[in-house]
């Protein structure tokens, strides 16, 4: 089994205190490695712009998000105050996952990918 990409000390440094931290860190690291199998090689490669600190931050963010998830899996909320009503529906997966932004940060080639434009200059 590979070492986690973040430590319990990293969790504490980012203000996350959890008894289940080591198990969640191993699980989050496994998810990152499943999504990006070459992540360890890229971290060790000085020519690759991917930094260990960014990978650690992503893993800690995954764990923090998991720990903040409501345990009751509530998906709808409604607040009524006099004539005013506010209702909302939300998803609480309660699991570990990579956000779109985190995937962009970790993918090879950095964050810029996709469509772009080129300025044409008339001489």
pLDDT tens-digit readout, 75-104? 677 888 889 988 877 665 567 889 999 999
Is residue 77 included in any domain, yes or no? yes
Whether 96 and 42 have beta carbons less than 8 Å apart is answered as no
Range of the domain at 25: 8-106
Tell me the C-alpha distance between 96 and 54, whole Å: 17
pLDDT of residue 111: 52
Tell me the C-alpha distance between 101 and 35, whole Å: 14
Number of compact structural domains in the chain: 1
Is residue 115 included in any domain, yes or no? no
pLDDT at 106 over 90: yes
Is residue 24 included in any domain, yes or no? yes
Average confidence (pLDDT) over 14-24? 79
Please give the model's pTM, rounded to 2 decimal places. Answer: 0.69
- Please indicate whether residue 25 or residue 91 has the higher confidence score (pLDDT): 25
Is residue 34 included in any domain, yes or no? yes
pLDDT, mean over the chain: 82
Is residue 117 included in any domain, yes or no? no
């Amino acid at each position: 089994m590979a070492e986690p990409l973040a430590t319990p000390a990293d969790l504490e440094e980012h203000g996350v205190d959890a008894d289940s931290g080591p198990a969640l860190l191993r699980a989050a690291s496994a998810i990152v490695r499943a999504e990006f199998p070459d992540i360890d090689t890229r971290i060790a490669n000085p020519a690759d712009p991917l930094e260990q600190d960014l990978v650690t931050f992503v893993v800690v963010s995954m764990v923090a998000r998991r720990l903040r998830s409501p345990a009751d899996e509530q998906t709808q909320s409604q607040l009524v105050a006099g004539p005013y009503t506010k209702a909302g529906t939300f998803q609480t997966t309660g699991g570990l996952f990579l956000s779109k932004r985190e995937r962009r940060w970790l993918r090879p080639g950095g964050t810029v990918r996709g469509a772009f434009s080129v300025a044409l200059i008339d001489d």
